[in-house]
Amino acid sequence: MKTDSIFYKLFLTIPSSFFELIGISGNEAKNYKFTSREVKQLSFRMDGLFVPTNSNSDQPFYLVEVQFQPKEELYYRIFSELFLYLRQYQPTNSWRVVVIYPTRSVEREEAHQFGDMLTLERVQRIYLDELAPINSLGVEIVKLVVEPEETAVDVAKSLVEKTQIQLTDVVRQENIIELIETIIV
- In this prediction, residue 40 carries a pLDDT of 58
Task: Say if residue 37's pLDDT is above 80.
Answer: no
Tens of pLDDT, residue by residue over 73-106, are: 999 999 999 999 999 889 999 999 999 999 999 9
Tens of pLDDT, residue by residue over 134-146, are: 889 999 999 999 9
Domain boundaries, the chain: 2-131
Categorize the per-residue pLDDT at 36 as very low, low, confident or very high, splitting at 50, 70 and 90: confident
Query: Which amino acid is residue 176, in one-letter code?
Result: I
φ, ψ of residue 71 in degrees (nearest 5): -140, 115
Pairing of strands 44-45, 38-39: antiparallel
Residues 113, 82, 138, 11: is their CA dihedral positive or negative? negative
For the chain, report the end-to-end CA distance as a whole number of angstroms: 14
| CATH architecture, domain defined by 2-131 | 3-Layer(aba) Sandwich (3.40)
Q: At what angle do helices 170-184 and 2-13 cross, to 10 degrees?
A: 160
CA–CA distances in Å: residue 117 to residues 33, 78, 97: 26, 11, 10
Query: Which amino acid is residue 9, in one-letter code?
Result: K
